[in-house]
Chain A
């Protein structure tokens, strides 16, 4: 039994006919074609599926899509503008904070939220903010440095 829902994703209203037990992650990836959001564990443990719901980092694998109607959903696909990367994306690339890239979308959205709330976080606050996002490749050092670099550029 499918239900038609309307989600506001990256500023656009999108309709999808879905089973009510579908997660936001599944709807984003399977129904809306937004595969930038990744499934790492499907249990809310790794952070790869993080999207912003009303500006709050949210595990989309633990969120039912039907509960997100009327909310603002932001995925990695809208972090850059049409022709310009977000400063965090630039910094991640330039500081070697990306290796395999699978945790990157979730990591970037968490970092964006952090810097939106506090443009000059200290190192402890940065590491605490990304502690829910597992990166197996980098050992986190260059991710932390990239976020610090963006903070340092911000007046």
Chain B
């Protein structure tokens, strides 16, 4: 592996100069001739029936070009999840009811943002206010107000992709009110497992909603051509092909009549993949006016309406034997989905899927409930379920260790999975660096010296640790990635990929994969990306499949181009193709230095001798070639992913026991990403996860009161600033994943998930205070310190 020339190095990213000079065009920078500006009228009530909407005054306002209400989009439904079991439950604009504060009621296109905003004020909506419910446990009760009255009808968007056509009702499986998703799973025998345990404990942990806070606000530009019946869209998104699929279904346009383009995307973190009403409104307004329409959300709208991380309640019961083996675990998860399902059906699956690969537990039961409330909608966010459930599992494991006089690190090491393990769903861990991550992270914070050693003064220090797992892509539309490598006269190449740069550096890492495989330099590669017309399909920059799935497609496309160049050279030199190798844009005959040919020459010869073939390599890759089905969200069956990334976070904190204030001193974040295709980029992902995890563990909270958001700006919603940066020790554990290009797999999501428990455990180690609800704040610590002081006096 040390003979790699391009991959594995911390090469500067190829989009750096554009971004550093302000030339990079983001979606908010897209401007088309004659473009109109759209604004959306939103519900001020958490739950209400719409009696009437009067747009007549707004229509008279000079400069207003179009107004739409639910009547214009009636019958159209879409959703991030749209399966027979979980049919789409969202409409571009509210049809009968509004279900959360911020729900879309009407949309206006005007010649300026100001006029569009003024028009919103002239629209009169009469509501009948309905009783609302704001906690999932209340919502599940039989007497709770029903948020979605009639069951959805119609066929699933995925039907033509092999999804079953029969609806299997989850309501019958678990007869709770306002349920929107239900996942159940078990292995072994949970009763027998607990019976064989020497120690059992039960706990409840809860997490609060958090915001993605991508620095670029959500935006869409739609341009519809009524003559050709074609829709062109620019979106700040993570998955152009999924967006195109959903848009074409909802707008009832043939998929080939919808073109989605990706400009640079100013951060996503999971928050730009769900299907959003503003995208559909922009498209509709453009279809109605025949002019381009741009909608950019305000920061407040981003906080309120572009999905948040699910607040989750985890009830967890775990049994261990005297020697520290976990023999039984029973996990029940309740996710507050808000007014619509959003990714509710996925998160209750992933709370199992992202967590189960960490510890090997013979008797295990999992139940996940997605529940409607009248809160804002929740969707995917970096780690999608993993931070919440890992917070519960590893907080409890720390408590178990303390109660039994065991070292949490030893307890983790005794129970973690290893390379070669087969998960009950069939996934095989062909690489697994969990053990190395645990020992590495523990050593980096001097675990043995610092544990149980808070110091004598007012300021106490403590350490904590937690682990997590993450997919490297999954069977989600469009299920696979393809790539093209076009050779040029000078022996350089252009990569065509449907992948999208969202900050994660995929243009650079994919170009490195191409360069390594083909035998050219990174500077010899240009990337054309993110356009559903120009580029082949791509699974998208979510579910952490970029490196493995798209990376493999690119590697195969480069290998195909190389094979074509070799065929020409082999004919020329009259040697077998196997004797050829490539480096520095040249072909060499092994063991015969006199025979060499520049790529440029091979391209020329190919044009002359192979009927004009200019050498275009193609490749495609599907993560799980064995299956043509996505895994069952309800039963957690079927293959989940071709490889798991693993990571472990160890944190050291210092707590002022007089005030409860505490700071994160140091974090060791060890990630098994298989093989770091670009060391600097991988470190950047790990450090970004550390910072976001720090925020979510210590600062960040979506504050809601009766569905009204009280943290809708960066003053009220606090996220980490430069001055709060801890010392971060990045540990890149290389395990070489056989399914990955050059051994690479996930990086970028998992390294966040353990931060919550690591910090909560460190606070406990320092002070004896156990915080069971994120964020861990000085107020909560101080309140508990006072209780501890009272009970000991």
A residues adjacent to B (C-beta < 8 A):
29, 34-43, 45-46, 48, 75-77, 79-80, 85, 89, 92-96, 98-105, 108, 126-128, 130-131, 133-144
B residues less than 8 Å from A80 (CB atoms): 20-21
Contact between B22 and A130, CB atoms less than 8 A apart: no
Contact between B217 and A39, CB atoms less than 8 A apart: yes
B residues less than 8 Å from A142 (CB atoms): 680, 683-684, 687
Contact between B723 and A139, CB atoms less than 8 A apart: no
In the complex, A122 Cα to B217 Cα: how many Å? 33
In the complex, A39 Cα to B302 Cα: how many Å? 13
Q: Residue of B at shortest CB range from A108?
A: B20
Contact between A99 and B504, CB atoms less than 8 A apart: yes
Interface: B298 (CB within 8 A): yes
Interface: B251 (CB within 8 A): no
Contact between B503 and A137, CB atoms less than 8 A apart: yes
A residues less than 8 Å from B692 (CB atoms): 136, 139
Contact between B267 and A41, CB atoms less than 8 A apart: no
Contact between A141 and B266, CB atoms less than 8 A apart: no
Interface: B357 (CB within 8 A): no
**Chain B nearest CB: distance from A62 CB in Å?**
13
Q: Residue of A at shortest CB range from B717?
A: A45
With beta carbons under 8 angstroms apart, the residue of B22, B215, B265, B691 that contacts A139 is B691
B residues less than 8 Å from A34 (CB atoms): 22
Contact between A105 and B713, CB atoms less than 8 A apart: no
Q: Residue of A at shortest CB range from B694?
A: A139
For chain B residues 631-662, which have a beta carbon within 8 Å of chain A?
none
Tell me whether A100 and B722 are in contact in the complex, defined as CB-CB below 8 angstroms, given that A35-B29, A75-B22, A136-B269 are known contacts: no
Contact between B213 and A134, CB atoms less than 8 A apart: yes
**Chain B nearest CB: distance from A100 CB in Å?**
3
With beta carbons under 8 angstroms apart, the residue of A94, A131, A136, A141 that contacts B213 is A136
Contact between A105 and B714, CB atoms less than 8 A apart: no
Tell me whether A131 and B722 are in contact in the complex, defined as CB-CB below 8 angstroms, given that A46-B714, A100-B216, A104-B20 are known contacts: yes
The CB with the most chain B CB atoms within 10 A, among A43, A100, A135, is that of A100
Contact between A42 and B265, CB atoms less than 8 A apart: no
Q: A45-B714, A100-B216, A102-B26 are in contact. List 15 more A-B contacts (CB 8 A).
A: A42-B299, A43-B714, A46-B215, A95-B680, A99-B504, A99-B505, A100-B266, A101-B15, A102-B214, A131-B721, A138-B687, A139-B728, A140-B691, A142-B680, A143-B722
In the complex, A34 Cα to B13 Cα: how many Å? 24
For chain B, the count of residues having a C-beta within 8 Å of the partner chain is 56
In the complex, A91 Cα to B18 Cα: how many Å? 14
Contact between A96 and B22, CB atoms less than 8 A apart: no
**Chain A nearest CB: distance from B684 CB in Å?**
5
In the complex, A134 Cα to B725 Cα: how many Å? 12
The CB with the most chain A CB atoms within 10 A, among B22, B29, B264, B691, is that of B22
Contact between B20 and A100, CB atoms less than 8 A apart: no
Interface: B10 (CB within 8 A): yes
Contact between A101 and B24, CB atoms less than 8 A apart: yes
B residues less than 8 Å from A96 (CB atoms): 10, 12-13, 680-681, 683-684
B residues adjacent to A (C-beta < 8 A):
10, 12-13, 15-26, 28-29, 212-217, 264-269, 298-299, 502-505, 680-681, 683-684, 687-692, 694, 713-715, 719-723, 725, 728
Tell me whether A99 and B688 are in contact in the complex, defined as CB-CB below 8 angstroms, given that A85-B20, A108-B20 are known contacts: yes
Q: Residue of B at shortest CB range from A91?
A: B20
A residues less than 8 Å from B690 (CB atoms): 139
Q: Residue of B at shortest CB range from A107?
A: B722
Contact between B264 and A101, CB atoms less than 8 A apart: yes
**A-B residue pairs in contact (CB < 8 Å), sample of 13:** A40-B216, A75-B22, A80-B20, A89-B21, A96-B683, A100-B503, A101-B20, A101-B264, A102-B215, A130-B722, A135-B722, A138-B687, A139-B688
In the complex, A48 Cα to B13 Cα: how many Å? 21
Contact between A100 and B215, CB atoms less than 8 A apart: yes
Tell me whether A127 and B504 are in contact in the complex, defined as CB-CB below 8 angstroms, given that A43-B299, A139-B690 are known contacts: no
In the complex, A141 Cα to B726 Cα: how many Å? 9
Tell me whether A41 and B722 are in contact in the complex, defined as CB-CB below 8 angstroms, given that A80-B21, A104-B19 are known contacts: no
Contact between A136 and B725, CB atoms less than 8 A apart: no
Tell me whether A98 and B19 are in contact in the complex, defined as CB-CB below 8 angstroms, given that A41-B714, A43-B714 are known contacts: yes
A residues less than 8 Å from B268 (CB atoms): 100
A residues less than 8 Å from B684 (CB atoms): 96, 99, 137-138, 142
With beta carbons under 8 angstroms apart, the residue of B10, B691, B715 that contacts A138 is B691
In the complex, A89 Cα to B26 Cα: how many Å? 19
Contact between B215 and A77, CB atoms less than 8 A apart: no
Contact between B20 and A98, CB atoms less than 8 A apart: yes
Q: Residue of B at shortest CB range from A123?
A: B725
In the complex, A149 Cα to B299 Cα: how many Å? 34
In the complex, A40 Cα to B503 Cα: how many Å? 16
**Chain B nearest CB: distance from A85 CB in Å?**
7
In the complex, A102 Cα to B683 Cα: how many Å? 19
A residues less than 8 Å from B299 (CB atoms): 40-43
B residues less than 8 Å from A94 (CB atoms): 12
B residues less than 8 Å from A99 (CB atoms): 267, 503-505, 684, 688
Contact between B214 and A136, CB atoms less than 8 A apart: yes
